[in-house]
Amino acid sequence: MLTDVRALIGCYLRIALAGFHRYATYRQATVAGAATNIVFGLIRVGILAAVYTAQGGGSVGGYDLTTTVTYVWLGQGLLSIVEFWGGTELTNRIRTGAVVVDLSRPWNPQAALLAEDTGRAGFAALARLVPPVLFGMVVFPFRWPDNPWVPVLFLVSALLAMVVSFGARFLLSLTAFWLLDSRGVLGVYQVVSSTLAGLEIPLGYFPGWARTALWFTPFPAMLQSPIDVFVQHGSAVALLVHQVVWAVLLLSLGQLLLRSAVRKVVVQGG
Amino acid sequence: MADAVTSFGTYRHLVAAQVRGQLSYRSSFVLNCFGQMLAQCTDLVVILVLFSRVASLGGFGVRDVLLIYSLAGLSFGLADLVVGSIDQLPTFIRTGEFDVVLLRPLGTLAQLAASDFQLRRLGRVITALGVLGYVLSTSDLDWTVARVALLVVTPLAGMVIFSSIFVAASSVCFWFIDSRELANTVTYGGSYFTSYPITVFTGWLRTFLAYVVPGAFVAYYPALVLIGRADPLGAPTWLCSVSPVVALLSALGAATVWRRAVRHYRGTGS
């Protein structure tokens, strides 16, 4: 029994490692991606700094200028950890029927995909989170955390953000079992998710009713929460609990949906 | 000349065939088109939220910014519709399919543009047109023949400028196959940049995205003429209405870059 569990954990670890290596192979793409994140960061800083110029300094939505600039660089770095725009692989495998192979493997498909995504995110944390944040630290005023636990909590929160994002993408991909092609659904999700998660403007800028409504969705947990943990805006515990709740909720829903999808699958020719 | 005419005819046939194909999956098309409309809408939401916090951005009020945003969105949307499928270029190079493109007696660029023509990209144009219509009908603009002509020419010139940006930026893939994302800095980044008055930005970022990549000529300068304002940055008045000339020069530049890039191409060898 114990050896079984150990074998299973070892198996997921190897999948995660494979996920890490898979993305680490494309060095040129990584450099190009990080450079692109930095240019977009500069455009975002320009637009948001103009808000403070027009306003004559002070704070907007609980963020002062330094916090806003820090927010931009953290967001640009977290972007590739969270991965709003990728992840159409599963839906394509469902559409083509290749998913049958995944379902017959001796592990839980959701856990295996999550392990792979964690490996991917691990590489992104090293190669894509560090460059924009470092750039922001050196070139712009930066809001440093005032105690050493904050960066640790930030990393935990970033991991949770990635899990929540994975959970949402996994759920939407599964709709392909019923819709046959969920690219449209995923497309709409990709378009709105980053803005609702707080990529372009801090969610604090939104009017009060919109902020309240957003906290009932998983979106803030994908980007705004880790940033708020880092810049110490709001209670870190509340932010982390919100993330954990959404992570558990989305993963369990995914597991349930997967089970009913499996009952539905008919293998052609089998 | 006759070559260009035949080439255009073939292009039209290829595009028409794809459009027929896409329209036969009605619900999928509607959903995809809706996604594109929404993509343009999220940028609009960002602008509106920013203006809920401030009265002006870079010295311009919400109507002026919306005018700039809609002209930029229209230009980008049309360019994306016409040449957007050029982002498939790395796949063509990697798989060696570009060999086939070179063998056919048709222009390489037209073939690539027609390779994955997506009518759904009209969604962006629809949103931008809606906002443009709203701004023009609710603003008190002084209409002259010259201004009406400018309003018609601006999206077309902007379309040519953005198409040139798409082509020139994608050419980089012939040298650096995995650097596709870098092209996004001037295509999607350019679209982001041109949606705001250039006075919002500063330093080399403004110099680069407004003049080297001629983003200022897409929407900002024409909008200044339409609302009858002098450039706060001190550009002479004539510079504000030379967008068509800039468009022509961009197209020539992009064509030169593309030809050099294609000559650089070497097949995959197997």
pLDDT tens column, A90-148: 888 888 888 888 888 888 899 999 999 999 999 999 999 999 999 999 999 999 999 99
Break chain B down into helix, strand, coil percent, rounded to 5: 80, 0, 20
Beta carbons of B10 and B17 less than 8 angstroms apart: no
pLDDT recorded at residue B168: 94
Angle CA A44–B246–B146, to nearest 5: 100
Chain B residues closer than 8 Å to A26 by CB: 178
For the question of an ipTM over 0.95, the answer is: no
A55 touches chain B (CB under 8 A): yes
Distance from C-alpha of A137 to C-alpha of A139, rounded to nearest angstrom: 6
Kindly report the backbone phi and psi dihedral angles of residue A142, in degrees, each rounded to the nearest multiple of 5, phi listed first.
Answer: -130, 135
Beta carbons of A161 and A226 less than 8 angstroms apart: yes
Distance from CA of B7 to the nearest CA of A (A): 32
Chain A residues closer than 8 Å to B200 by CB: 46-47, 50
Neighbours of A20 (CB within 10 A): 18
pLDDT tens column, A21-46: 988 888 888 999 999 999 999 999 99
Distance from C-alpha of A68 to C-alpha of B107, rounded to nearest angstrom: 48
Q: B53 pLDDT band (50/70/90 cuts)?
A: very high
Contact at CB, A184 and B32, closer than 8 angstroms: yes
Q: B23 pLDDT band (50/70/90 cuts)?
A: confident
Contact at CB, A201 and B50, closer than 8 angstroms: yes
Q: A270 pLDDT band (50/70/90 cuts)?
A: very low
Kindly report the backbone phi and psi dihedral angles of residue B189, in degrees, each rounded to the nearest multiple of 5, phi listed first.
Answer: -65, -40
Which residue pairs from A250-253 have beta carbons closer than 8 angstroms and sit at least 24 positions apart in sequence? A250/A164, A250/A167, A250/A168, A250/A170, A250/A171, A250/A218, A251/A110, A251/A114, A251/A163, A251/A167, A251/A170, A253/A167, A253/A171
Distance from CA of A111 to the nearest CA of B (A): 30
Contact at CB, A185 and B31, closer than 8 angstroms: yes
At A95, the amino acid letter reads R
Distance from CA of B201 to the nearest CA of A (A): 5
Chain A residues closer than 8 Å to B32 by CB: 183-184, 187
Chain B residues closer than 8 Å to A39 by CB: 185, 189, 205
Among B192, B206, B233, pick the best mutation site for testing chain A contact (most A Cβ within 10 A).
B192
Mean pLDDT, rounded, for B195-207 = 94
Contact at CB, A40 and B182, closer than 8 angstroms: no
Distance from CA of B235 to the nearest CA of A (A): 21
Distance from CA of B17 to the nearest CA of A (A): 21
Residue B58 is nearest to which of A26, A50, A183, comparing CB atoms? A50
- Say what the pTM is: 0.92
B196 touches chain A (CB under 8 A): yes
B208 touches chain A (CB under 8 A): no
Beta carbons of A239 and A228 less than 8 angstroms apart: yes
Q: Which residue has the higher pLDDT, B127 or B21?
A: B127
Mean pLDDT, rounded, for B59-87 = 95
3-state secondary structure at position B148: helix
Residue B235 belongs to what H/E stretch? none
Which residue pairs from B261-266 have beta carbons closer than 8 angstroms and sit at least 24 positions apart in sequence? B261/B171, B261/B172, B261/B174, B261/B175, B262/B102, B262/B108, B262/B174, B264/B174, B264/B175, B265/B93, B265/B98, B265/B102, B265/B174
A260 touches chain B (CB under 8 A): no
DSSP one-letter string for A139-195: HS-----SSTHHHHHHHHHHHHHHHHHHHHHHHHHHTHHHHS--HHHHHHHHHHHHH
A59 touches chain B (CB under 8 A): no
Distance from CA of B62 to the nearest CA of A (A): 13
Q: A243 pLDDT band (50/70/90 cuts)?
A: very high
Q: Which two tokens stand for residue B42?
A: 């999220």
Neighbours of B223 (CB within 10 A): 25
Q: Which two tokens stand for residue A91?
A: 């839906």
